[in-house]
A = this chain, B = another copy of it.
Amino acid sequence: MQLTGQSLIAGRPTAAGKKSFAAVNPATKEALAPAFVVATAEEVDQAVKAAADAAPVLQAASPEKRAQLLETIAAEIELVGPTLLERANAESGLPLARLSGERDRTCSQLRLFASVVREGSWIDARIDPALPDRKPLPRPDLRRMLAPLGPVAVFGASNFPLAFSVAGGDTASAFAAGCPVIAKAHEAHPCTSELVGSAIVRALAACDLPIGLFSLLQGPGAEVGVPLVKHPLLAAVGFTGSHTAGRALCDLAALRPNPIPVFAEMSSVNPVFLLPGAVRERGSVIAQGLLGSVTLGVGQFCTKPGLIFVLRDNATKGLMDAVAAGVPACAPGTMLTPGIRERFLQVQERLRSLPGIRVAAAREPGSAAKNEAAVTVAATTAADFLRTPEMATEAFGPFTLFVEASSMNELLACAHAIEGQLTATLHGNDSDWESAGPLLDALERKAGRLLVNGFPTGVEVSHAMHHGGPSPATSDPRFTSVGTAAILRWARPVCYQNFPAALLPAALRDDNPLQIWRRINGALTREPLASCP
């Protein structure tokens, strides 16, 4: 498959710009061919206009047609074959086995959204039939369902070149909702992005859908992302990345003449609370699991546990010693980009230098030439933690900080002190749960997902998953970026009052031709209207 090094605007490779950049193999620091031309402001404009022009076709497409598009994209990605994994490996340093799993996840995610679209209840169809004889006034016939928002910008993530990039969860859920997508490739993996983008272009053609429904823009955020988010015809944004970049996009979107929603998944330190009963019962198993979760993917997961809260006692000391003892066996790993490694080492250094923080165990950092980093486990006291908010800074890499409390009250104070999180985890046994109520209540207000006796890395793509949390973890805790509910980010209700049958969307017709669940007079049913009381 020939790479063009160009953006794909409505299916066509274009390169009107003069600037270019190349991906770098993080393990060798070699520039990878081809160079990519940075998209121009005019190309951004063309992409969004093409999306807006094509939007009505996808909105009007049947659920079956949308499902076929999603499934065809999955099939086309699989057809790219080993080239895709090799390119992603060269661009990200991630191992082939991990990338193969990520490709599977990407494709099953697309197929899962196809099943959601076919099942159809996500549109929250509601019908309140007319009550012509009601006093003092008759009630009109009211029918409501979710409709697509319009063109969606998707910003690829550095740490998931497949599952959260060009055809990742944001794109899959946006197409499922009926929205065109303009993907902004992450600068670290333009080749992988082009391969996946071309697969989407082929899928649109195979499904006989307008090519304007998808564009892929190459280039940095400041030059490509900013004009994209400011474009008057853009309807929404999906972003996964740093807090600084996410917040900048949110502010940009909020200050538009017509503000649009930005779903930014930004930063999280994923606190873990180890309660004393659990530590006594299975401290060494927890120690092993924690170290595995901290070092998975060289610590480059948004759900990496970065703060571990414990009660100071002998069993806890044994657990912390066991974690420290495991550190030497954790091999260094290549990080995603030189920039990510550099920022990680900076943040880690700042954290290590804070008064009250001591290093419990650290592996030598590995080879700078291979862009490696290795694990560091640090420790502090709850008293120091409570007086040093900076200790809760996210270090995006294999670093974690134990926080030792001297009482359950101090542990609870720590839970109240932390900011919004994607996840919060408790390890406990039956004796611990008796007094854990206040801690659970506190964490429920801080995090989107609460785990018991598990580890937060490894985010399931399913119906009940919620991957989102209060600020600053995400820009909007009401929505998830993982799992089938992610489709709800890209839709808004439209209500039809006294519409003639022939003008109603199929989902709202009396006879329920799509056989979907609907809410009639407030009650859920799959029956046609005539059969409802």
Contacts and interface: CB of A to CB of B under 8 A. Distances in A.
Interface of A: 56, 101, 115-116, 119, 121, 124, 126-128, 136-137, 139-140, 142-144, 147, 149-150, 250-251, 254-255, 257-261, 419-420, 430, 433, 436, 440-441, 444-445, 447-454, 458, 460, 462-466, 468, 470-472, 475-478, 480, 484-485, 491-500, 502-503, 517, 519, 521-524
A454 B498 contact: yes
A44 B163 CA distance: 45
Given A440-B503, A497-B452, A502-B433, A478 B115 contact: no
B261 A126 contact: no
Given A251-B254, A258-B470, A463 B119 contact: no
A255 B251 contact: yes
Contacts of A471: 257-260
A55 to B, nearest CB: 8
Given A136-B101, A452-B499, A497-B452, A250 B259 contact: yes
Contacts of A480: 493
Contacts of A136: 101
18 contacts: A116-B522, A121-B524, A126-B464, A139-B460, A140-B451, A140-B460, A258-B471, A430-B500, A447-B494, A449-B496, A450-B495, A450-B497, A452-B499, A454-B497, A464-B519, A465-B495, A484-B522, A485-B493
Given A503-B433, A522-B484, A128 B460 contact: yes
B522 A463 contact: yes
Copies of the chain in the assembly: 2
B495 A449 contact: yes
Given A126-B485, A250-B259, A259-B475, 15 more contacts: A124-B485, A126-B463, A128-B463, A142-B460, A250-B254, A258-B471, A261-B476, A261-B478, A440-B503, A447-B494, A449-B497, A452-B496, A463-B519, A466-B494, A478-B493
A454 B497 CA distance: 8
Nearest to A428: B500
B250 A450 contact: no
A214 to B, nearest CB: 20
A464 B261 contact: no
B121 A462 contact: no
A446 to B, nearest CB: 10
A522 B115 contact: yes
A517 to B, nearest CB: 5
A424 to B, nearest CB: 10
Given A497-B451, A498-B454, A472 B258 contact: yes
Nearest to A420: B258
Nearest to A488: B478
A271 B92 CA distance: 52
Contact of A147 (B444, B472, B476, B498): B444
A127 B521 contact: no
The 10 closest A-B pairs by CB, nearest first: A254-B254, A466-B495, A258-B471, A126-B464, A142-B464, A449-B495, A451-B497, A128-B464, A144-B464, A466-B493
A46 to B, nearest CB: 19
A139 B461 CA distance: 10
A486 B438 CA distance: 30
A138 to B, nearest CB: 10
B500 A448 contact: no
A63 to B, nearest CB: 15
B492 A144 contact: no
A267 to B, nearest CB: 13
A524 B524 contact: yes
A168 B87 CA distance: 58
Contact of A517 (B56, B250, B500, B524): B524
A115 B494 CA distance: 23
Given A119-B522, A251-B255, A466 B144 contact: yes
A150 to B, nearest CB: 7
Contacts of A250: 254, 259
B254 A448 contact: no
A143 B450 CA distance: 10
A73 B142 CA distance: 28
